[in-house]
Amino acid sequence: MRLSFLRLQNFRQHADSYIEFQPGLTGIIGPNGAGKSTILEAIAWAIYGSSAARGTNDTLRFVRAGTRSRVAVELGFELGGHGYRVVRTLNQAEVFLDGGIAPVAATLGGVSAYLQGRLGMTREEFFNTYFTGQKELQFLAAMGAADRGRFLSQVLGYERLREAQDLVRSHRNELRHEVRALRAALPDRDAIQAERAGAEQRVAGALRGLADVETERLVAATAAADLAPRWAEGQASRERFRDLTHRLDTAEQERLAAQRDTLRIQGELDSVSTAEAELAPLRTQLAPLPALITETERLDGLARIEERRNALVRQLEEMDVELAQRRERLAKLDKAPELV
């Protein structure tokens, strides 16, 4: 783990401080109460939360900051080839990975658990090793040699190395057992050689059989080459036969179609002859029809004239009645006494 930067806002003695850690050793120098230990406390608080801070949340706030002022620590560090940026306030925490804009953890407890998993040590282990303060290594002296060795092995990663060695040793033993089992399962060398000799004899016999088959194939190929012209001629004759057969079938179908058309036309001619025979009497009966039509038209004209005459007669009678009525009124007027 290598620290990159640290920013403190209203945290303990720091109103707004920013520290950028350069490669190598970094010394923090200042008088008592200047906030040197606070820097270490802020690093632990950013990673593990309130359990890594002295006192309560209220005591973390800068004494001259307002009660609503934001208390925050932002920590950047590199670990295992990745860059981490942690932002923790009194009520919220977020951790960002490799410059991402979306947090990989975003709650107070979630950030602490995530970073503890990445570091591979609890808060106590962190404080007792990488983060040990002045006069805080007495716990190692209180441990026995075996416990001290186990603790340092775990902190320095020796435990994982030992587990890897045990895994390699176990895998090596498994491979040795497997090799012994394979060797035990191998058949006798003489038996293998005898089986190989038999296989070689069978292969030789198969090769001789293959040579015989190849000879037969060449003979057959020669015969096929001799027969090729006759076969081609036969194929041509067969194609001509197929063509003639097809043409014959087509001609037969056309003949049958023509025969059907002839029968149909003959039937139609017979029907026409029958109709002609039936029409002959009708023509005789219809011979006077033009004179009758002329007479009918003449009678229709006379009927229309008669109808017109009757209409005129009725109109004349109506006029006579109206004339008589007017004469009567006129006579009454003549007889009426004159007014003086």
User: Where is mean pLDDT largest: 6-10, 141-145, 302-306, 330-334?
Assistant: 6-10
Instruction: Report residue 225 as tokens.
Output: 């080459």
Q: Is the pLDDT of residue 262 over 80?
A: yes
Q: How confident is residue 137, by pLDDT bands cut at 50, 70 and 90?
A: low
CA distance 269 to 303: 48
Q: Is the pLDDT of residue 134 over 80?
A: no
- For 122-155, b/e burial (b = at least 16 CB within 10 A) is ebebbbbbebeeeeeeeeeeeeeeeeeeebeeeb
Q: Is the pLDDT of residue 340 over 60?
A: no
180-189 pLDDT per residue, tens:
888 777 767 7
The confidence score (pLDDT) of residue 11 equals 92
**pTM, two decimal places:** 0.43
Q: How confident is residue 42, by pLDDT bands cut at 50, 70 and 90?
A: very high
Q: Is the pLDDT of residue 138 over 80?
A: no
Q: How confident is residue 272, by pLDDT bands cut at 50, 70 and 90?
A: confident
Mean pLDDT taken over the chain: 84
Q: Is the pLDDT of residue 238 over 60?
A: yes
The confidence score (pLDDT) of residue 115 equals 94
Q: Is the pLDDT of residue 283 over 80?
A: no
9-19 pLDDT per residue, tens:
999 989 999 99
H-helix or E-strand spanning residue 240 = helix 189-285
Cα 200 to Cα 48, 205, 206, distances in angstroms: 76, 9, 10
The DSSP line for 257-286 is HHHHHHHHHHHHHHHHHHHHHHHHHHHHHT
Q: Which DSSP category does 27 fall into?
A: -
The confidence score (pLDDT) of residue 159 equals 66
The confidence score (pLDDT) of residue 258 equals 85
Range in 59-63, 169-173, 206-210, 333-337 the model is least confident about? 333-337
Helix, strand or coil, per DSSP, at residue 146 = helix
Q: How confident is residue 244, by pLDDT bands cut at 50, 70 and 90?
A: confident
Q: Is the pLDDT of residue 125 over 60?
A: yes
The better pLDDT of the pair 276, 260 is held by: 260
